[in-house]
Structure 1
Amino acid sequence: MPQVIFVHPDGRQDAIEIAVGASVMQGATQHGIEEILAECGGNAMCATCHVYVDDEQIGRLVPMSENEDALLDGTAAERQPTSRLACQIEVTPALDGLLVRLPDRQT
């Protein structure tokens, strides 16, 4: 299974294996990553699974939809050029080693 590395606001890291086809959000919630709230359950409606993808890896992701782009304008933590919603990042073998930074707040 591909591994995704979550960097917490305090610098701690958790490397988690996530099944191909699952979302980064699903993997995070299943493994107790507390900074991912996922209030809408992964339906791209709440933006409480906001993450910052590593600068050098953002190009590995499928481009975001207009809906995701609009939701990112309302995140609690500052939006950055590498901001994405974890529920919209589907894990593929090509994403093995993906590094995502967790914001300091989701609400």
Structure 2
Amino acid sequence: MSPRRRVRDRDSEVRRQPLSQPPEQDGWVVRRVTGAATVRAYRCPGCDQEIRPGMPHVVVWSAQDTDAAGRRHWHTACWAARDRRGVKVHRSKNAPRYG
């Protein structure tokens, strides 16, 4: 005998619909990427280190930006700490340092 299943009333059930886009955070759209979904290396703008294939991370783009050119791949910890860190400035070897 098979177990009895409880039949739900479809009108009272809250229907879940998939999101067309991930939710926004402070004007940014953030999508979490699993390690299994990554197949190439990226450069994290928060720490300027490589995100290796197979490493889970987040993909972030502006809520107003619709094309893929504005997407950036961040380490999850770097994205969470972005407001506590300064900007990584790329300088040449002999460039003057101010401040």
Fold in common (TM above 0.5): no
Structure with more helix by fraction: 1
Greater Rg, structure 1 or structure 2? 2
What TM-score, normalized by structure 1, do the two folds share? 0.25
Higher RCO (CA < 8 A, seq sep 6+): 1
